[in-house]
Structure formats: C-alpha cells, structure tokens
Structure 1
Amino acid sequence: MNFYKKTANALFFSSIDEISEEIWTSLDCEQNLYFHRNFLKSIEKNHPEIKFLYIVLIDKNKKPKAFASIQIINFYFENVQNELKFHLQKLRSFGQKIYLLPKKKPLQLLICGNTFVSGEHGLFIHQHQDKKKSINEMAQAILHFVDLDVSLKIDAFLFKDFINESLSITDELKKYNYHPFLVEPNMVLNLHENWRNFDDYLASMKTKFRVKAKKALQLSAAIKIEEVILRNIETQLPKMTALYQKVATKANFNLGDFNLATYQDLKENFGDQYILKTYWLQGEIVGFMSGLINENSLDAHFVGIDYNLNREHAIYQRMLYDYIEIAIKKNLKTINFGRTASEIKSSVGATPQDLTMYVRHKKSITNRILKLFLQRVQPTSFQQKFPFKN
C-alpha cells in the first residue's frame, strides 16, 4: 500500500521514509522518542503484517501542526482475556445473529497510537496549536482518508491511551461517535528525590516489603545479568522470543505480537537509551527485560520469563527491582511499568494510572450496540499494596 495523499489540511504517508526533513523540523516532536522517526521506522520495518499510516495536519500557511501515527491491524477477539473477553464474546455473538459482525474474519482495526506500548504515543500536537481543534481535525482526517482509499476495509477505529489530564481535550472524539472505555491501568512508580541509590529505595520501605525485596534478591542471586549488545543480539533472539511468547499469552489485552528483531534496530538507533538485558542461569537464558529511557522516564517494555523457574529464582520480581535501580542511577523521575501484573508492581511501589481508549465501529447500528457493551466493561480489580513508610 504505497500511497501518498493530500487534502486541504492534511498530508498522508504510508512510510516514515516519505516524510521530509522539513516536516520533522517543523513538527519538533522527536524529543519524545515515541515520535522519533527512528523509533517509528523500527516498528514499521519489523512488522510487515501491519499497515502503517502517518498523518500530518497543516495550518493555513501549509506548516505542520500535528502528527498522528496510525497502525491498521487484524484484531482477533481471542486476543482478549478476562472480563473484557466475556463482554466482547457476547457482543460478537449478538452481532453475528443480526449479521452486523463477521462470523470468522477478524476485525480490521485502525489504531491511532502504538499497538505495542501503553501511553499517549499516537498523537502529537505542536505546543502553539489549539489542541481541541487539532483533535477534531485529526478525527475528520482519519475518516476522510478511509473514504478516499477504497482498498481499506476498516471495521473499527481506536484512539489509545489517554491519561485523565487529557480527557477534557480527547473527549472531543465523542462528537464523532467514539466511546471511551478503560482497560488495565498503567502502573507508575514516582521516584523520590532522596533516593540516591537502591539502598535508599529499600530503606524507604516498610519492614514487610523490605524483607520481601531482600528475599527476592537472595533467591535471584545465582542469576547472571548481561547487557544485550548488537554483537550478540542475533544469537539470543530465538530464546528471547520463546520466553516473550510465554508472557504474551497471559496478557489480558493483546493487540498484536511484537517482533523482537525490532530490538536490533532500537539498540542501533538509541544505544544506551534503549535498555535490553538477559537473565542467565546455568548457561541458559531464563528471562529478559527491555525498556526505553524517554525524556525523564523509564518505560518498561516487553519481558520474557521462564515460568518454570520464576518462583524458585524470583526472576520477574528481580526485573522490577532492576528497573528501579536503573532509573535511580539515571536520575529519572518516573517508571512506567505498563499494564500487566498490577498487584506485584504495586508491591514495589507503583500506583495505577488510568488510560482511556476511544473506540467506534464504522457501522452506526453496531456502534450503538458497542456503546452499551462498553458501559459494562471495568478493569480487572487487584489489591493495591502500599510498601512505603508514611
């Protein structure tokens, strides 16, 4: 799908390579690495099963003012677990009975955002622009583009993932019949200014949680941790991919499978800003962790775990503490741990941050039914831990 299209206030690109240096300079968005051309190109290059679209809104002087990263995927109902799966299965069953949803085909889903990473990584609006107006124009541009390109058979549209502070702007999407809903929260750890090293972090914990942390460190003492570098990444990717698949199958909400070959490009482009470590036991890889240092945050990306050894050697818990130690050493302010395993993440100090998605179905009748089902969807509850002293 090699296309380049243009309307009065928007430019459409099918590849990062089509976007000129002039546009990137005018947008001035690459300080946020999720809008860096090399990050987006790494995702695009390694996921041929996804159709990519990039939209640049332009002002009356033809200057870029906003940017959207769009990914078009085949969405399978089977990729959703727990309560959301229950509601979606009921929706699909009802939709099939009245011939509004296909029986076997996946939904063609257009996503404004990053399929593989939680957070506001789909829409960038220049700081001097009216954000509500830009959201409206982007929603219109997406619908207009789908009408322009007859080869696209889009069933549904999704904008993801917006923090509560953004909702006064993103609720503009309701004008275009998008429905807001919540899935699992992003778990966020705000680092204290007085944490100069990992021992300071441990000292700030209540006795019960400090003992738990030290036990995990003791259980994982036999594990050797290695930096993954470009020279050795190819030989490690097959085992890492197998471990990633074990974790991915447990996720409650999975839009697609991540190709770990992407790590090679991310390490090449971002060096030490992209964190990639493997965990070894008796000469075998038993886990890996990945993450991106973006501005003043460390964002945890995918991990892989040998679950047969996880309890005995506290592999995953050790990874969480390693993220924390890295962030403290780098003098960062926050860690975004992502959506999964909320309770154990809360035990190391993370707190939930709601992320709102907006979805609409192309067919108006189906969209009204979808709204009724989404009103019943709630994030999976978990017991929030409070590990720090008052």
Structure 2
Amino acid sequence: MNTSDTLESPQRCTIQSMFHPFKPKSFPFGKKVAAEGYEWMYTDRIQQVEAQWLASDNLYVQPHYLQALEDAKTTGLDFRYLLMFKNGQPIGGITLQLLTVSAAHSIRSLRQGEIRDFWDRLKFLLASWGKYRFMIWGNMFLTGQYNQWWKAPEDEIPALQSATLKVLNCIARQEKIQILMARDCFERDQPLENAGYHAIDFQPNMCMDLSKDWKSFEDYLNAMSSKYRVRARRAFKKTEGIIFKELDLRQIELFADDLNTLHHSVVEQADFNMLWAGKNYFVQLKEQLGADFCLTACFEKERLLGFYTTIRNGKELDANFLGFDPKANREYQLYLAMLYKMIEQAIVLRCEKICFARTALEIKSSVGALAQKTYIYLKHTNPLLNYILPTAVRFGEPKEEWVPRHPFRED
C-alpha cells in the first residue's frame, strides 16, 4: 500500500500537526492503513473489529462491555477503537473516547456562579472562552488504566507504543482535537513525557486490599479498632429502617428516571466533573454484563432514597456511579452505609480488592481504603498552549483537603 495517499510520514505528522491546520481524514473507518512498520484500523464501532479484538481477561476492554458504553449514548461522548496488525495478525488494541467539554460547566463553583473574588472572576473568564474537544486514551467511566491490550512480544511493545503515539497525533488532527489525554497511569510514563505529554497528579484512586482472613463482614469489623467499629455500628443503626435491594434489569428500566435524577443530584455537587452518565447507562450495563454489574437501591418503604453500582472485574470489585437524595443522606448517612455494603459484597464474592475511585477521600479512608497515586497525562495540540497547559490546569483545579484515617488495629 502506498502510505503517502493515506498517512503522512512520522516526521511530517508530528511537525506539521503543530503548525498547520487539520487536513482531510487519513484514517477512514474500517480500512487498514500502513505506517511505522504496522497496519492500523480505526473505527467508531466495536462490532466492526470484534472478531479481531483479542482482549485479555480484563472486563473493561472486552467487546460486550464496550458495546454497553456505545449503546448508553452518553451526551457529548463518542467512541473510537484503534487496532494494530503485524503480518496480517492483530497484535494490539486501544479504546479511545472523544469528549467535548466546557470548563465553565465542569467546575461546580463556576457552574453555580460562586464567584467570590478576583481569582474566581478570572477563572470564569478563562473557562468561558469556549468548549474543548478531548481525545481520551482511556475510560471516562472508570478510574484506572483500562484502555489497551497487547498480543505482541514483550520486547516489541515499547516500539509499538511509540508508533501508536505518532498515529494518535495524526488521528487528533483528523478528529479536530484540542487536548489529548492518557488516563490514570499508576506510575510516571517516560514515553508519554518524551512525546510532550504533561503528568498531572489529580486526586488519588482509593483502593482497599481485602484480607484472606475476612470470610464474612463481621471479620472485617473485628479487624477494626474499637473506635471505628463503634462508628460503623452507629451508622448501621441509622439505616435500620432502610431496605437495600439489588435491582434486576426490569426494575432498573422501571426506575430509570428516578435513578437518573438521583445520580445528577450527586454529580451537581462534585467540585469537578467532565461527564454525566446517560439515562440508559445503567440499563445497558445490566443488559450486557449481567451478574458482573450490580445496582443496589435504597428504599424507605416505597420511596427510593438512593442507589449505588458496582462492577466485578475478575478478583476486583469497582465502585461505579451512585446517587442519593441529599436530605436522606444527611439523615441516614447513606453514603457511608453504601461503602460498607460494597465491602460486604466484595467479601461475599471473594474478591481480593475493592476500588472506590476518586472523590470523598477521607470517608473512603475511614472504611479502610488507601490512596493510590494516579497520573493523568495531557497534551495540547497547539505547542504554545501545551507549554502553559499544566499551569492552566492547576489554576482551575478544585482542591480537596483531607486527613487519612487508619481504621484497622495494628498488630
């Protein structure tokens, strides 16, 4: 194949993409393009490459999960997939998400008009300049590096990843992207930094390893110091009149509007949020994942007060989206009760680890979660704006002050 008709050379791609406007598409969906010693197929539908998508045991890169995200039709979010071939055989795949974001809408203080001083006014002015189109190498619905699989020999993966970064630069031009994002690396990534990406350490991922000695939830409580065990039992008393019920697919469909309303009531209070789960998200995940997706609702008699969702990924349980009535949460400590219920679920399922994701760091710490540092890598396609990007991000980033808690007895 003559690659000059479809893809610029690596040098032209990386240099011209910084100083010239976007050019016509060079990666038509569903067609192989040769570059960097490999062949690449780019598409917007997982079904188109499902037969060649040799995903690992990781649920989050398997076609049925990716199909659920597509079918949920979240506003402002589009899906892309990049498949790599060598000698006609698939050797790697990457999930991409294209997201249009308004900073003025994503930052709560700006969204709600909480302008208190000069710096708030400046933030609002800068954030109001327009919308930004992101290409995300990762998954906006999760905290973690769930975005790729490789079947290439171990010693070839660095070269393959380097070639992938060059191809992504060209795809960014094609898709009219302003900011490229590689999500949730648990350690510094030198190839990304060499390619001009900036490492930003946002809020950590809150995770807890489950002891093999915990055969029941009571074992978990007994591992706590008396102070935190008393606190847990006090929380249980507050929810004695609340019924926690796992919903099946039909019930999730029935309560879809109420679940969406409760979810949005929580999202609206988050300091920073780029994505709101669509109304069909919970229905699609239950339909595609079955028992691996669990939505538990909280009822006071017939009244729905809140809900939380979890996804089982092998031996790991991941907290996903939730929602609750703010007044009911204050009265019954619903959020704390939900965290304990998730831990109990993980123990019953014999999981080895539970991840609670970001936000609400201190309360998650109080049930036993530890902070796992994560880096998000960002790169602006404009060289000048890329230079000042880290400063701009830090300027607009909401801060959460918190004190790590230590609920378990020391042996």
- TM-score, normalised relative to structure 1: 0.88
Shift of 1:372: 3.9
Shift of 1:133: 2.3
1:73 corresponds to 2:99: yes
Distance (whole Å) between structure 1 residues aligned to residue 207 and residue 152 of structure 2: 25
Residue among 45, 49, 61 paired with 1:15:
45
**CA shift digits 1:88-144 (9 cap, x unpaired):** 986885xx6xxxxx9542101111111121111122233733333232122112112
- Specify the SS of the correspondent of 1:116: coil
The percentage of counterpart residues that share the same residue type is: 27
Residue among 171, 179, 204 paired with 1:156:
179
Structure 1 residues 90, 11: CA separation in 2 closer, same or farther (over 3 Å shift)? farther
The aligned counterpart of 1:146 is 172
Distance (whole Å) between structure 2 residues aligned to residue 15 and residue 278 of structure 1: 32
1:122 corresponds to 2:147: yes
Structure 2: gaps of 5 or more residues = 1-24
Which AA in structure 2 matches 1:18?
Q
The aligned counterpart of 1:111 is 136
Which AA in structure 2 matches 1:387?
P
Which AA in structure 2 matches 1:80?
I
- Specify the SS of the correspondent of 1:19: helix
Distance (whole Å) between structure 2 residues aligned to residue 65 and residue 40 of structure 1: 19
**CA shift digits 1:56-104 (9 cap, x unpaired):** 1222x13222211111111111313589x999986885xx6xxxxx954
The aligned counterpart of 1:34 is 60
Q: Is the 8 A contact 1:220 1:314 kept in 2?
A: yes
Shift of 1:45: 1.5
Residue among 56, 67, 90 paired with 2:83:
56
Structure 1 residues 330, 371: CA separation in 2 closer, same or farther (over 3 Å shift)? same
Distance (whole Å) between structure 2 residues aligned to residue 81 and residue 355 of structure 1: 22
Shift of 1:245: 0.4
- Specify the SS of the correspondent of 2:386: helix
Distance (whole Å) between structure 1 residues aligned to residue 378 and residue 212 of structure 2: 39
Residue among 247, 254, 268 paired with 1:249:
268
- Specify the SS of the correspondent of 1:7: strand
1:317 corresponds to 2:341: no
Distance (whole Å) between structure 2 residues aligned to residue 308 and residue 375 of structure 1: 33
Which AA in structure 1 matches 2:278?
N
Distance (whole Å) between structure 2 residues aligned to residue 92 and residue 307 of structure 1: 27
- Deviates most, 288-297 or 267-276: 267-276
Distance (whole Å) between structure 2 residues aligned to residue 90 and residue 193 of structure 1: 52
1:182 corresponds to 2:201: yes
The structure that has the greater radius of gyration is 2
The aligned counterpart of 1:99 is none
- Deviates most, 129-138 or 9-18: 129-138
Structure 1 residues 92, 305: CA separation in 2 closer, same or farther (over 3 Å shift)? closer
The aligned counterpart of 1:44 is 70
Q: Is the 8 A contact 1:343 1:385 kept in 2?
A: yes
The aligned counterpart of 2:408 is 388
Shift of 1:380: 3.0
Which AA in structure 2 matches 1:51?
D
Shift of 1:305: 1.1
Distance (whole Å) between structure 2 residues aligned to residue 221 and residue 91 of structure 1: 45
The aligned counterpart of 1:270 is 289
**CA shift digits 1:166-208 (9 cap, x unpaired):** x3xx320112211010111110011111001010000000111
Distance (whole Å) between structure 1 residues aligned to residue 362 and residue 310 of structure 2: 20
Distance (whole Å) between structure 1 residues aligned to residue 251 and residue 393 of structure 2: 45
The aligned counterpart of 1:348 is 367
Q: Is the 8 A contact 1:182 1:378 kept in 2?
A: no
Distance (whole Å) between structure 2 residues aligned to residue 144 and residue 369 of structure 1: 22
The aligned counterpart of 2:30 is 4
Q: Is the 8 A contact 1:135 1:173 kept in 2?
A: no
The aligned counterpart of 1:301 is 320
